[in-house]
Structure 1
Amino acid sequence: MLTEYLAQHPAQADAVWHTVMPGVCVYRFSIREPLILSSPHLDALHFETLYCDQGTLTLEQIGNQARTVGAHDVLLVSDTDNLCRLCIPSSLSGILVSVDAVQARSSLRTLCHLMGDLTLDLHTVRHRMAQQNGCALLRQSSWTHAMFATLLQLPQAEHARYCVWKSTELLYLLCTHSNLLESDCSPVIPDSRLAYTVRDIRDYMACHLDEKLTIASLCRRFGLSPTAFKTCFRRMYGQPIHNWLQQKRMEHAGTLLRAQSMTVLQVAQSVGYDGVSQFNAAFKRRYGLTPTQYRKMSDPVDRRPIPQDDPAAI
């Protein structure tokens, strides 16, 4: 699926890959342009795990269903028979772990032995994934929050190994019938005047993150009823308007904090907050760190390895 595209278009995707162990390849990538892949394909006994850093990806499935992946979501794919299209509406960056289960069998056995002879039953994994139509989505869970918070604190050279380790843990959780997986899909809205208007509103919000946006004011501006807007937006993007906007605001705030050129108050105001207090709370809910801690962890000096020796507002 994404592995094939990244391997064939490394320059367009700004992709860097590493073979961590036999049968396991990790790609760090950044796709900056819209992308549509029709009938995405994944070979049998292959798994892909996407750790989404920024952007959005939508998988459209047979039966007019869709799964939308956003920042700090994790997507596991084992079967593409039910997929009819992969869409990246604007951009997508993250880390992709690609596993060939046959070639990786020996390596996985070694890992399991190191973990106290842990058993990874791939038959159980395939059964669990079949219940999800081959696509499992982890969103806004304690597992994903902890995973991305830890990733932020690691040197970039360690990101590939860490994501392989977490992918192995994810397979283990599937074997134990963990309830981490999200099973619901959203109906896909066909292209129409309503859908185009909702996309225009989405683009407007993305360009005006510093403003006090409300559903009522947006609907007045674009001539849409609030009910139609909320219903259509959720079906198209798989989440409520508030969640999407909050996610975009926190992503942009993270980018500004990493740039180290603005105060925390200035960053807060750039994403629609009057003061630091509410911004700090919202940012910590998203990343598990305060803005100050996030900035410190993002400083290359601090990430070097230690030597061995308003209520109406959306």
Structure 2
Amino acid sequence: MIEKLYGEIIETVIDNENEKILNIENDSGSGKIVVYKLFEGIKLLYNNLNLEYCSGSSIKFPNIIEINHCKYGRYECELKKNKFEYISEGDLGIYLLDNKKYSKAFFPNRQYCGISILIDIDKIKNFDLFKSFGVDIISIYEKVKKNDLCKIIRANEQLDHIFYEVYTSNEENKFYYMRIKIIELLLFLGEIDYSIKKNKKYLTKYQVQKTKDIKEFIISDITKHYKIEELAQLFNLSQTTIKNWFKEVYGIGIYTYLKNYRLQESVRYLKESDYSILEISNIIGYSNPSKFSSAFKQEYGYSPKEFKKHIQMDKLCPLRVDNDYQMD
């Protein structure tokens, strides 16, 4: 099922009874997924993705709850009724797989790290085990099913507590510890209100696509710096509309997005090309190399020169290094 959900599996690194490690790759990037079978019918996935999208199968998956927690990055989910939901850092999203309109998952910022939990109601054989801990999975399923969209729980201390300990658990006891944390999460999910505000506003498909068109335009030549008023004229939208739509889809403003994109591109050039740091600075739109170096060090903790040296020595991951959670 995992392969059908994600698609583009290019390598299975480990495949045993309770653990599977998968590498994925497409034209937008690559990533790694670690799958743990915690109980019959319940799987936990670590997602470490440096790509913009995953394209899975269009096959329907009935009676499966998907729970997503975002550690960093941003996740877009297109649901039925042409509604879009976005899960940001620290957020939790809960829905039935059948409520997703498409199997394609979109990661607006080209980086995503988080946990997915898949609960297959039809495959759970021992509901009494969970009831002995006060967990009623069928009740949770019925609440999620009644809400035909996606329930988003925004970042809070309780979620941070549950998931931080999953991300940082000791490798030796990780499997059993994750089982305990799943029980804790299910207890939490059994107590929350799944209703969604009737006046909740969603971006339409047109608005989302228009925003993505603006993004594609500004990254088509990253040496150029567009003002909001210029984009408003080019796309026949108000400045406020562009700002609001872009923030809703990408979670950040246009200036910040373009800055992050330039730095990500600089990483790619440092890794894959023989360009000098001065040349890379010019290619990504920095006329001042010292400003580029300063922005790069602020983001990655290394100057471009130090970064390139480490890459050449094959000692540094080419994108964000997460000390709390590394899958290599």
TM-score range, shorter chain: 0.5 to 0.7
Please report how far the alpha carbon of residue 174 of structure 1 lies from its aligned counterpart in structure 2 after TM superposition. Answer: 4.0
Aligned residue number for residue 203 of structure 2: 187
For 1:182 and 1:240, locate their aligned partners in 2 and report how far apart those are by CA, in whole Å: 24
User: 1:160/1:98 Cα in 2 relative to 1: closer, same or farther (>3 Å)?
Assistant: farther
Aligned residue number for residue 128 of structure 2: 109
**Letter paired with 2:213:** Y
The alignment yields a C-alpha RMSD, in angstroms, of 4.4
Query: Could you tell me which of 235, 243, 253 is aligned with 1:230?
Result: 243
For 1:38 and 1:4, locate their aligned partners in 2 and report how far apart those are by CA, in whole Å: 5
Please report how far the alpha carbon of residue 221 of structure 1 lies from its aligned counterpart in structure 2 after TM superposition. Answer: 7.0
Please report how far the alpha carbon of residue 164 of structure 1 lies from its aligned counterpart in structure 2 after TM superposition. Answer: 4.4
Q: Which runs of 5+ in 2 are unaligned?
A: 10-21, 25-30, 265-293, 300-320
For 2:228 and 2:172, locate their aligned partners in 1 and report how far apart those are by CA, in whole Å: 46
Aligned residue number for residue 90 of structure 2: 72
For 1:155 and 1:88, locate their aligned partners in 2 and report how far apart those are by CA, in whole Å: 31
What SS does the corresponding residue of 1:11 show, helix, strand or coil? strand
For 1:158 and 1:126, locate their aligned partners in 2 and report how far apart those are by CA, in whole Å: 29
Aligned residue number for residue 228 of structure 2: 219
Q: Aligned ranges for residues 251-270 of structure 1 at < 5 Å? A: 270=298
Runs of 4+ in 1 over 4 A off after TM superposition: 38-42, 156-164, 180-185, 191-195, 198-201, 220-225, 239-242, 266-269, 297-300
For 2:153 and 2:75, locate their aligned partners in 1 and report how far apart those are by CA, in whole Å: 14
Determine if the alignment matches structure 1 residue 96 to structure 2 residue 103: no
Query: Could you tell me which of 54, 57, 63 is aligned with 2:72?
Result: 54
Structure with higher RCO (Cα < 8 A, 6+ apart): 1
For 1:103 and 1:17, locate their aligned partners in 2 and report how far apart those are by CA, in whole Å: 17
User: 1:152/1:167 Cα in 2 relative to 1: closer, same or farther (>3 Å)?
Assistant: closer
Q: Is the 1:47–1:77 contact (alpha carbons within 8 Å) kept by the matching residues of 2?
A: yes
Identity %: 12
Q: Is the 2:91–2:152 contact (alpha carbons within 8 Å) kept by the matching residues of 1?
A: yes
User: 1:109/1:26 Cα in 2 relative to 1: closer, same or farther (>3 Å)?
Assistant: same
User: 1:33/1:63 Cα in 2 relative to 1: closer, same or farther (>3 Å)?
Assistant: same
Q: Is the 1:59–1:85 contact (alpha carbons within 8 Å) kept by the matching residues of 2?
A: no
Please report how far the alpha carbon of residue 144 of structure 1 lies from its aligned counterpart in structure 2 after TM superposition. Answer: 1.9
Q: Is the 1:125–1:174 contact (alpha carbons within 8 Å) kept by the matching residues of 2?
A: yes
Please report how far the alpha carbon of residue 32 of structure 1 lies from its aligned counterpart in structure 2 after TM superposition. Answer: 2.4
Q: Aligned ranges for residues 77-226 of structure 1 at < 5 Å? A: 77-81=95-99, 83-84=101-102, 86-89=104-107, 90-106=110-126, 108-113=127-132, 115=133, 118-120=134-136, 122=138, 124-156=139-171, 158=173, 161-176=176-191, 178-179=192-193, 184=200, 186-190=202-206, 195-198=212-215, 219=228, 222=231, 225-226=238-239
User: 1:101/1:7 Cα in 2 relative to 1: closer, same or farther (>3 Å)?
Assistant: farther
**Letter paired with 1:59:** C
Please report how far the alpha carbon of residue 185 of structure 1 lies from its aligned counterpart in structure 2 after TM superposition. Answer: 5.6
Q: Is the 2:4–2:56 contact (alpha carbons within 8 Å) kept by the matching residues of 1?
A: no
The structure whose Rg is larger is: 2
Please report how far the alpha carbon of residue 67 of structure 1 lies from its aligned counterpart in structure 2 after TM superposition. Answer: 0.7
**Letter paired with 1:233:** F
User: 1:234/1:38 Cα in 2 relative to 1: closer, same or farther (>3 Å)?
Assistant: farther
- Residue correspondences, number: 243
Please report how far the alpha carbon of residue 66 of structure 1 lies from its aligned counterpart in structure 2 after TM superposition. Answer: 0.5
Q: Which runs of 5+ in 1 are unaligned?
A: 208-216, 253-265, 272-294, 301-314
For 2:151 and 2:63, locate their aligned partners in 1 and report how far apart those are by CA, in whole Å: 16
